[in-house]
Structure 1
């Protein structure tokens, strides 16, 4: 039996892009996605984490999600929507609305649930996918972002993070294999950083402390497809059937040239291996243009003058402009005012103006290096302070700091989720 599903992830509903709302862009994406669902009628829609941009999403972004689910159920009542929590999501929050999700034939897996005898709640994490006749055509192992506090210390197999991750994958995949027939596909949906995955600068780092990027060896050879979330660039990792779908809109200017897409997947377990899966990339139209202007200050002014200037747009539909410039002399005090005067009115939104200082070589007309002044990370700040104190930053010191940082983030996450309750 062939299973047909869409793979998408990293919607980041509610994101503020340099304090500008992305609501319009997300609305255009969701409208486009509904058209694809209406036309293709998949058995399932898989959303592999980071549904929202923050753990306490705005009412507007929550409304946007639930209105989409309601409309999707209207046009494809047989389609299941299966989603998992990413590192930006509150797993407890997305599970709290389970009765509402059931109404729309949707299911959210936000946390790893354990039974009273410290065993995995298998039924919560292994989900059947049905066709229109309510026949099971596939099983989906749903693995939300794995926080150490939620997976360690439950039994002898979960004494540390690494062993817990191995135990979860092995136990769940083995149980899914036991449940499936040879005519049913086996899918794993996971929000994780996999070894070999290419990052952009908009992903929140989840490889911290002693938690390394995960190996694709965790996925048994009998798994037909792995639907990944977290990295925003669409890509295969190690094998053709292990893929990130990527984000539906560019979440930073580093993603300017990504071909944002939804993956349309068909799996026929009865076919030979090389022919059992077909992949179609459904390219998402970009609703708002991004312009990255870079160069010497005079060149940037020239690029500004050459931007299209005709027509005005509503505020939420105006195009984004990001500027990185370098200059051998201090910039004018009214630089921002000059730039804003060059930008056509009611057409663009200025996101950032960043100066990149240069060091001159003996030939004063040629820069020999440029220094990127991106906002410092906790790790870079620690290294700078540690070195200023006269100490060497060896690997063990860095690992100890990252472990403490990770524990602090976990405590903050716990406090946030407990406040939600």
Structure 2
């Protein structure tokens, strides 16, 4: 049996207010072709299908059109979807009856039995071969919120020190035990989850931190060693977990921030033979629209403008033009910064998405001292403005800036009155 692991599509995402429907469409068309070319039996989507809990109608259409085309091209295909922290569990599960009729299982919520226990049955998905025989079991566990996990108490009936961490580990163990009890011999057990594992490497700027109580990262020990493969979502950089070949984040298929400019996105193909995964093969995802950082490192404004003017890009339709982040090193405020950058880019087939100013850090002697609460209470707005200016620019605020700030402050006070 052959599986394909993907996650973190973030359909409906915008990059600094630029729509990415075209890029997502290119990825989904490529994915359908890949399902055919790679002869995939099961597609695993490990959460964050949408970028937010209230996705647009267009984002919904992209998902359902993909599922329809995938099933049409690969009639035996099974699709297993779990909700991520960006998804609305209820919204994702709403069309379940229609999706199940076309080979798609969606697990958005952790349900409860009438006696209040976690309904483990709905988290266990049988994976069948083309003859209809069960060849593997998938623990399809969506992003877990505190109310989703079982309570863990000690022998003296005290709640565990970290209820979320211990409850999450217990839920995975209970689901694994149920899968083991269903195995009749030779089936693999696959675990799929959306979470942040210990030592997981995050992508800057594009991931929403998962912090519940004092816990963010979960230990790899919550997966039984006999689990054939662990398919994870949430982190946007593909990586092994704890150095284990068969415990993986596949990463997002699109770069979701400029920090991922030089990163090759991918999906993962997993080959099963009986109860074991025999190979994990990365399949690189082609990038439909390029992301550019100019200059490569923050540079003084004149150097940055020269680099922009030297850009030589081929003509392209607007929806395929590269996104651009401009990185400028500044010594102080530059009121006309955007206008000068736009002038340098005039006529070039590129979309200016972000200007990233980096300021030289310099602190005057005696500027950084700790204030008491009483001293803080006595600070006036212009005092705070002076301190922030000195902290950022290493010098006293110029009179014209102080005057402009005072004018703005008075205008705001007047409006409030």
Asked whether the two chains share a fold, i.e. TM above 0.5, the reply is: yes
CA–CA separation in structure 1 for the residues paired with 2:114 and 2:76 = 34
From the superposition, tell whether residues 297 and 149 of structure 1 become closer, same or farther in structure 2 (CA, over 3 Å).
same
Q: Bigger relative contact order, structure 1 or 2, given CA contacts below 8 A and separation 6+? A: 1
Is the contact made by 1:309 and 1:344 (CA closer than 8 Å) also made in structure 2? no
1:237 aligns with 2:259: no
Q: Please state how far the C-alpha of 1:149 moved relative to its aligned partner.
A: 2.5
* Cα deviation 1:21-51 (Å, max 9, x = unaligned): 1111100000111111111221100000000
In the aligned structure 1, how far is the partner of 2:159 from the partner of 2:99? 31
**Which residue matches 1:13?**
11
1:218-257 alignment runs, 5 A limit: 218-238=222-242, 239-257=244-262
How large is the RMSD of aligned CA atoms in angstroms?
2.5
Distance 1:113 1:208, change over 3 A: closer
Measure how far apart 1:259 and its partner are: 1.3
Q: Does the 8 Å CA contact 1:84/1:108 hold for their aligned counterparts?
A: yes
Q: Does 1:192 align with 2:195?
A: yes
- Give the equivalent residue in structure 1 for 2:132: 134
- Report the Cα distance in structure 2 between the residues aligned to 1:17 and 1:203, rounded to whole angstroms: 13
Q: How does 1:94-133 map to 2 (within 5 A)?
A: 94-133=92-131
- SS of 2:136's equivalent? strand
Equivalenced residues, count: 361
One of 22, 25, 30 as aligned partner of 1:24: 22
1:16-415 alignment, distance < 5 Å: 16-151=14-149, 160-201=163-204, 202-238=206-242, 239-269=244-274, 276-293=277-294, 294-314=298-318, 316-331=319-334, 333-345=335-347, 347-359=349-361
Answer yes or no: is the 8 Å Cα contact 2:165–2:218 preserved in 1. Answer: no
8 Å CA contact 2:236–2:251 kept in 1: the answer is yes
Q: Please, which runs of 5 or more residues in structure 1 have no aligned partner?
A: 363-383, 391-421
> How many angstroms apart in 2 are the aligned matches of 1:158 and 1:255?
41
- For residues 388 and 79 of structure 1, what CA distance do their matches in structure 2 show? 67
Q: How many angstroms apart in 2 are the aligned matches of 1:389 and 1:302?
A: 44
Q: TM-score, normalised by structure 2?
A: 0.81
The alpha carbon displacement at 1:100 in A equals 2.0
Instruction: Tell me the CA shift for residue 312 of structure 1.
Output: 3.6
Runs of 4+ off more than 6 Å: 154-159, 384-388
Query: In structure 1, what is the Cα distance between the partners aligned to 2:372 and 2:47?
Result: 35
Q: Distance in 2 between matches of 1:90 and 1:300?
A: 42
TM-score (norm: length of structure 1): 0.81
